[in-house]
Structure 1
Amino acid sequence: MAPHHIRLPYRAPMSDVQHAGRRPGPRFSRVGWLVLVAVLCVVVVLAVLFVPRLLRERQYGQLTVPEGQRASQIYAAVDQALKVPEGTTAQAARTAHLDLPAEAKGNPEGYLFPATYPLRKDTTPASLLSYMVKTADQRLTADRITSYRTVVIASIVQAEADRPADMGKVARVIDNRLAKNMPLQMDSTINYALGRSTLRTSHADIRTNSPYNTYKFEGLPPTPIDNPGADALKAAAAPPAGDWLYFVTVKPGDTRFTADYQEHQRNVREFNDAQKNSASGASTSSGPAPGGSASGGPAPGGPTSSTSVSGGSAAGGSANSAATGG
């Protein structure tokens, strides 16, 4: 009887079994592991440094500064937005050492640029005012405006122009009158001196003894009278050519510019007739923008014998301006 051969099952070496149980994957060298650890450490450090800052800079609202608002109005708006006692921002403006031109003598009027500003948890009146001044400086630099005089003119243009399309002509009227040594006779400057925004300027008003009274004193007022926007700044920097000396807004959207005084007087009479037929024409504006009047005076050196009329927009932007003269 032939012997039976029994086949025993093959037993793989233990080392082969261990290797077979491993899944294929990337294998890091010692250097690779060190690099990975270093990267993770950097991520942790950056998170520790910047996450609190990001949380701190979370926006807590915003403040919109309209074109043509006066500094005093902006101070009040900042007080309210930041929920600080009344007068806090005005005091900050005097002590914040804002980056203003020397001619401003520390007065930020004209340099609180109209825009929408974010409010954060750590925003203070001083930091917000600094932000506004920095924004104004950036705008002036972009438009290549370096003259304080231009900002003063732009502030008058902002108050006087009925609409942006008229701003260049208003700026030209100002330049032309200054060149002829004519008083500007702008009601917006008197309103600024008297701290108001009104539709009518009386004979008593034009006798106000203030350097902002451009009926009484020739030349520009000593400072801007509001904070002009980009359109007014551009208009003041580069007004169009023209010989205009007078202007009056007969009705919204209809501003008449002329170099002829008699024509201007006819336009003014048309305006005054329209005002007599409108109850709103005699009311006092409660808007934040200074009211403005056209250069409505008579020929150079002549007396101003009639009342000029002006109005400011409630949004603090372009004013509806008009004036009488002669």
Structure 2
Amino acid sequence: MQTNTPPRSTIRLTRRGRLALVVSGAVLAGTAVVVPLLTLDSDTAGGGPARPRTLVIPEGWRAGQVYAAIDKALALPPGTTKQSLAKAELKLPAAAGGNPEGYLFPSTYPVDDKTTPQSLLAAMVEKADKKFNAAPVAAGAQRTSMNTYQAVTIASIVQAESATKADMAKVARVVLNRLERGMPLQMDSILNYGLGRTAAARVNANDIQVDNPYNSYQRMGLPPTPIDNPGEDALRAVMNPAPGDWLYFVMVKPGDTRFTADYAEHQRNLAEAAAHRQSRSPQSAT
């Protein structure tokens, strides 16, 4: 335990899931648990020309959700895409160890009768590679003394932890500040990834004692891999974090995320957030 860090079991940083729905080709995002799977119908009303089918991968989806979406879009049995990884020959960095998490870039991908799981996965990784190795990203990674894989990993945390796009640069700064100070990240989204739960799942005292490589309460530094597939906004936030000394943050209520470097103030913010949740619970309305 770090002497400059309050007891780990008492620290909670903000966590909000994301709801992604596809409506007429547009991705709508909200603050709820992710609903995986999507595909656009190629048929048009009235017997007109068929629209090209597309597969939309929203920001923040985990690899498992992407696999399931590909299976559905290509009308394949569940698990087919995941099983195809071994022969996909994806051009991943050595640090990834063959795991494409973080490199299935969120975007819209065309789908036709010749599309295969391997071709879709390869297209996603190729797009990620172009984005991540672009000059601004490379320069930003060098400026913050990290390699590209580390930057993508941090971006995935920022993606998972940010309630809004406006919060991302501040969340990135919190992550970097804690790393620089030798503090454990202590973020629920990381631990929940390791436990196979949704990023927004509540973490309890027993959870943080689990021996897991993604236990950000017990382990120092970054998790072994990204925890989702971040978009450009999250990556941009990591390359250009907001200036500040913040070490803690919590979403007190929608639209009100509090950042602070003071532990006592963070505890007050946590209490206010808990009170707000309690006031919104069904029991409080009875």
Indicate the residue corresponding to 1:248 in structure 2.
250
* TM-score for the superposition, normalised by structure 2: 0.75
How far residue 121 of structure 1 moved from its aligned partner, in angstroms, is: 1.3
Quote the Cα distance in structure 1 between the aligned partners of 2:276 and 2:137: 41
SS at match of 1:117: strand
Gaps of 5+ in 2: 1-49, 139-146
Letter of the 1:138 counterpart: K
Question: Within 1, Cα distance between the matches of 2:201 and 2:254?
Answer: 14
Counterpart CA distance in 2 for 1:74 and 1:60 is 20
Identity among equivalent pairs (%): 57
Contact (CA 8 Å) 1:275, 1:281: kept in 2 or not? no
Q: How many residue pairs end up in the alignment?
A: 225
In 2: Cα distance, 1:156 partner to 1:250 partner: 19
Query: Which stretch has the larger CA shift, 197-206 or 207-216?
Result: 197-206
Q: CA deviation at 1:59?
A: 6.9
Contact kept? 1:59, 1:118, Cα under 8 Å = no
| CA deviation after TM superposition for structure 1 residue 92, in Å | 1.4
CA distance in 2, matches of 1:178, 1:272: 27
* Residue of structure 2 in register with 1:144 after alignment: 137
Q: State the Cα RMSD in Å.
A: 1.8
Equivalent residue for 2:73, pick from 78, 81, 86: 81
TM-score with structure 1 length normalisation? 0.66
- Taking a change above 3 Å as real, the CA distance of residues 230 and 280 of structure 1, as seen in their structure-2 partners, is farther
Tell whether the 8 Å contact from 2:96 to 2:225 is kept in structure 1 after alignment: yes
Aligned to 1:196: 197
Match of 1:144, SS state, is: helix
Q: Which has the larger radius of gyration?
A: 1
Q: Does 1:210 align with 2:205?
A: no
Aligned partners of 2:132 and 2:148 also within 8 Å: no
Q: Which residue of 2 aligns with 1:104?
A: 96
Residue pair 1:62, 1:118 contacting (<8 A) in 2 also: yes
Q: Tell me if structure 2 keeps the 8 A contact 1:65–1:114.
A: yes
Give structure 1 regions of 4+ aligned residues with deviation exceeding 4 angstroms: none
Matched, 1:130 2:122: yes
Q: Secondary structure at the match of 1:277?
A: helix
- Equivalent residue letter for 2:264: Q
The SS at the match of 2:60 is coil
Deviations 1:12-58 (A, max 9, x none): xxxxxxxxxxxxxxxxxxxxxxxxxxxxxxxxxxxxxxxxxxxxxx9
- Structure 2 distance, partners of 1:105, 1:115, is 24
| Alpha-carbon distance in structure 1 between the residues aligned to 2:158 and 2:216 | 14
